[in-house]
Structure 1
């Protein structure tokens, strides 16, 4: 996952979901993640709308219900690796600065060791 990207995670279990409040935990399990400008919980889903640059997030979910707060077991951790976007390189291999409508132009972009070629 790249910084600034949006991801939605879902949590569920085999029982009846009625009356359960879903809780999301990052890294340490002390406090549930709050709703913020960059993340939001909605029922059994948790959306990170703009991932902050951090090497890794370990996220777990669980559920609670009732006044005396009965808690479910927590999920296994899901690891999100967050990094900056890959570098891309575009080079012009022609000495011509003018292209005519009848000519064929190909764009090649190298991105993380992959070559992408597009005929324009």
Structure 2
């Protein structure tokens, strides 16, 4: 079983995939992206600890389908490939501050409204 948290994920957050194969602690895991022959390389942003694969500061290029497979090295036994999960990476919205009314000068006693929207 392969689980993902959170999903979707915003750029700059951290996303974690967890592969559950069995209770045996001798399992090691291989992670695949976009197809079952493309192994995800380890990097400063892509790390594996036990059954957990973490993507730090995900970029839109990290979006896609992921699979995991467990194996017990000492017994040359591999699990069946997991069902895929789809990571969706969303660009963080930009905050836009507007002033109403949009006059060049505001005088003491006048009423103004500040509005913050995300785009």
Same fold (TM over 0.5): yes
Q: Which is strand-richer, 1 or 2?
A: 2
Give the gaps of 5 or more residues in structure 2. Answer: 1-8
Rounded Cα–Cα distance in structure 2 between residues aligned with 1:99 and 1:45: 58
TM-score (norm 1): 0.71
RMSD, aligned CA: 2.7
Question: Which aligned runs of 4 or more in structure 1 are off by greater than 6 angstroms?
Answer: none
Give the gaps of 5 or more residues in structure 1. Answer: 113-120
Aligned residue in 1 for 2:79 = 72
Residue 106 to residue 20, structure 1, CA distance change in 2 (3 Å): farther
Rounded Cα–Cα distance in structure 2 between residues aligned with 1:93 and 1:80: 39
Alpha-carbon shift at residue 25 of structure 1 (Å): 0.9
TM-score (norm 2): 0.72
Rounded Cα–Cα distance in structure 2 between residues aligned with 1:18 and 1:93: 61
Asked if the contact 1:3/1:50 (under 8 Å) is kept, the reply is yes
Q: Which has the higher contact order (CA 8 A, sep 6+)?
A: 2
Residue 47 to residue 107, structure 1, CA distance change in 2 (3 Å): farther
